[in-house]
Amino acid sequence: MEQSSCTEDRIQHSLERCLCHLGVDSPDKKLWNAGLCISRWCLEELVKRHPHNFLILLQKILQKTKEVLKECQYELVVPLTLLFSAALLKSPYLGAGCGVLQEAYLLFHRFLAWPEPCSSASKRLLVIIEQEIRAPGISFQRLVRTEQAISSDINCSKILVVLLVSPDADAPQEVQLTSEQLSTMHYSSRNTITTLILHSFQAAFGTKLDLRVLHAALQEKELYELEQLYETITGSMEAATSVADHTAAREGLLRSLEKLRESLSVPSGDGCSETGSLESLMLPYPKCHTCLWDDDNFDVLKDLLSVDSDLDSPPECFPKIDEDDTFDTSIDEEDEQDSSIKRWSVPSVSSGVESDFSEDMAHEDTEEGQGSHLRVRKKPKKKSKSLLGLERFSLLFKTPHSPSTSRRVQSMGYNGDITKDYLMTGAQLKHSGTPMRHIRHLNVSTAPIDPSAPQRHICVRRRPILSCDEGNEAEALTVVKVVTFGGDREAGRLARAYSDLQQKERRCPQLTRTCKLQFYFVPTKSKTVSPGAGHMPTEGQESNCQEVEDSTTDIAQMLGMMDPWYERNVFSLLSLSSEVLSEAPPKEDDVSCGTGATEHRLPLLADLVLYYCRHADQPILVQLYQAELTLEGGEKRKEVFIHSLELGHTAGARAVKSMGAASKRLGIDEEREAVPLTLNVAYNKVAISGRSHWIHKEAVCTSINLRHSEQLDSKEGLQLTMTEVVKKQSSKSKKGYNQILISEVKVDKMQVTAQGNGSTFAVCLDQDKKMFIQSVKRCEVSLCSKPGSSSDWRSYKTLPGQIQPLHPTFCSLLCLPVTAFSAGGQ
């Protein structure tokens, strides 16, 4: 009892350490980050020492949850759901009579009325608990089955982890070691299937079955026999999850497993006696692939997923239709996606803004309603972007006689005959005497459009959307979890690769057609090298050791502000040294699984990365920005960035620093010694209230920097920092000194033009030396929109009765979805 009490106290203490100071920005918080960031790992190491500790941890979590309910500690709800699901995943056995899952279900059900992200996190946990009550161990089975891809069924879902690592010269030591360890961990199909079979029996029967005897019986079977046995167990467990009654589902599963036990000739207890003991079975590590990544694209993913065989095939923009088809069902994938977005974004006409929008589009419906008849539309020729955009919006307002209405209703889950149902409904209303004026549509008027009629503005809402959602997630059976290591430089590279992916997939879907991509970002420190190539400084001599590029981690810090659990378990890893992150537990601490297998220990960073990939699944949208650059020769190019744009002296100094040893010969002047530039600057200043206005000025500057705003209330905004030269002062030396003035303002658009013939400036994006661009004459910065013909209203031809909208830059904003533990109510 004393040992048990001591263990419970230690588990309680470790749990409190996991949750302390969570989401609180205290002055001394950074002093404790190094210890707090590994508190969850320490708790897990403590619990896995004995199989009974998992039940203790679950009970302690429920006790803490009751305190959170009583004291309304919102910031602890999501961490508690994650801790409970992680402990439940690795629990070897929970008896039906312990009541932990039933109590947890009633307890977390009370959070459904709490605000986001508490309600969504609780809802996800409730689904897991319900499935575990019906089929014990189902979470463990599904996770291993998808990570190891052991099912022979081609329709089985799979999870693939891809580690994008910079070349050896740039990657820190801990990242190189982690990627090497994870990519070399492989398990044979026999060992994996054996582990799953043992787990299923132990989760169902607990100590009433001797696991060692069962393991010995399985060792005598051939691989195909084990596969057949496992398929039978999987079918029984999946069938149990669909049974409405929890008790009946669990009892039915136990009967099925009991028959399989008898066929294996494995003895069991008499119903009350215990024949064995619980064993801590190893959760196999997922299959990981390491790719050296130094480009602004995802071509390495195409090579890995073997989709290059489809590169030569033309994109199917219009599916094949039969000549006997009655309805027009030919619509390209992009049209269907765009129309689905607009169906979601256009609310009821009861609101004033959208009412104007609906009335304007009525003119188009009037034209299309005249003489409309059912016909088969053949594959059309390539149309202009403006015409395609008008056709997409007209999909929203077709009459029931229009073939396009059938596409819209069928996309919402209805597969019936639209015209027949409409005629039947009209006949029923006619016989019942119900007036039909309430179902009349916008195209009943046959009056011609008067071009001289007052024109109305088109008013629509401007909002970012989850641009990675292509509408085919239900068909994507393979989930690719892309893990990127680094700072803001690597985040910018990831953003440009994602923008490039959007452009390519829109023209010819390949990756998004075969898999679903999830992006994970692990911040790491910049690698330091010595420009002296190994020469050690002597006494009294300064060291030449410096960072090649002083990349920051502001994007990861922003993610941590939105998700405290990400900050605790991912971002705070920066507080640990490279030696600690690379260190692996000694071999004598390896955990024996009791069945002849031994769990090989990974470095600390590798273990934390696996936890991040397994338990984080909520995307946080990070706005992307585009820079339209006009070079001195008239050439124009567009680039995407996510964190910063440096212009002038700051960009040049960064390029010189990236040269390593050569930077010492060239020298780096300070801002007050830099050559000033005469620039024409215009920016759209954004106020806290949301209003904005343009400011134009001519300024003499040394640098202009744009940086992603770290404020949570800033959904779309950049921090503009201008270093202006107030006065040029002479000195006794050859160099002059600038009297500078630094000003800061929040903007969402900016235009900079160099004044004078031959005057140009340099630009550097996201602190990346590869994105250093010289001889720039003009730079325009704006929000990045999703690629597609509906991204900009300025390209549309106006109809009679319409003028350009009030907000001509309406678009679906392109955001990079970075996966975290909670979206922070985004």
Mean pLDDT by 10 residues, the chain (826 residues): 72 93 70 83 92 94 95 93 96 90 96 94 96 95 91 78 85 90 90 94 91 92 93 94 92 93 79 69 91 87 65 39 37 40 36 36 42 41 47 45 41 42 42 40 42 45 45 67 93 94 87 88 74 40 43 90 93 90 68 53 91 95 93 92 91 73 53 80 83 87 85 68 78 62 88 89 90 92 74 49 50 88 76
pTM: 0.77
389 residue type, one letter:
G
Helix residue ranges per DSSP H, 20-148 = 29-36, 39-47, 53-71, 77-90, 100-109, 118-134, 138-148
Written as one string, the DSSP assignment of 580-608 is: HHH----GGGPEE-SSS-EE----HHHHH
Give the pLDDT score at 219: 93
Give the pLDDT score at 414: 42
Q: For CA atoms 510, 322, 411, 377, give the dihedral sign.
A: positive
Q: Kind and range of the H or E element at 506?
A: helix 488-507
Q: Using CA atoms, how far apart are residues 73 and 664, in angstroms rounded to an integer?
A: 54
Spell out the residues 6+ positions from residue 543 whose beta carbon is closer than 8 angstroms to its own: 530, 537
Q: Which tokens sit at 328?
A: 């027009």
Nearest to residue 755, comparing CAs of 672, 819, 696? 696
DSSP 8-state assignment for residue 209: B
Give the pLDDT score at 464: 44
Q: Given its phi and psi angles, is residue 758 left (phi above 0), alpha (psi -120 to 50 degrees) or beta?
A: left
Residue 531 DSSP SS3: coil
Q: Kind and range of the H or E element at 631?
A: strand 625-631
Q: For CA atoms 231, 232, 235, 238, give the dihedral sign.
A: negative
Nearest to residue 290, comparing CAs of 111, 434, 482, 439? 482
Neighbours of 540 (CB within 10 A): 5
Residue 400 DSSP SS3: coil
Long-range contacts, 220-223 (Cβ 8 Å, 24+):
223/189, 223/190, 223/193
Length of the chain as a residue count: 826
Nearest to residue 63, comparing CAs of 115, 19, 129, 24? 19
Q: Using CA atoms, how far apart are residues 479 and 149, in angstroms rounded to an integer?
A: 11
Q: Using CA atoms, how far apart are residues 237 and 250, in angstroms rounded to an integer?
A: 9
Q: How far is CA 424 from CA 317, 326, 431, 441, in A?
A: 35, 18, 11, 17
**What is the signed CA dihedral for 44, 49, 55, 61, rounded to 10 degrees?**
-30
Q: Using CA atoms, how far apart are residues 124 and 107, in angstroms rounded to an integer?
A: 14
Q: Which tokens sit at 589?
A: 């601490």
Tell how strand 677-686 and strand 737-754 pair up.
antiparallel
pLDDT digits 0-9 by tens, 117-132: 999 999 999 999 999 9
Nearest to residue 19, comparing CAs of 52, 89, 67? 67
Tell how strand 737-754 and strand 718-729 pair up.
antiparallel
Give the pLDDT score at 730: 61
Q: Using CA atoms, how far apart are residues 349 and 694, in angstroms rounded to an integer?
A: 33
Written as one string, the DSSP assignment of 182-194 is: HHH----HHHHHH
Start-to-end Cα distance in the chain? 47
For 684-715, the three-class secondary structure string (H helix, E strand, C coil) is: EEECCCCCEEEEEEEEEEEEEEEEECCCCCCC
Nearest to residue 615, comparing CAs of 79, 75, 6, 9? 79
Give the pLDDT score at 201: 94
DSSP 8-state assignment for residue 464: B
Crossing angle (nearest 10°) for helices 53-71 and 100-109: 20
Q: Using CA atoms, how far apart are residues 138 and 242, in angstroms rounded to an integer?
A: 12
Q: Kind and range of the H or E element at 637?
A: strand 636-641
What is the C-alpha radius of gyration for the chain, rounded to an integer number of angstroms?
31
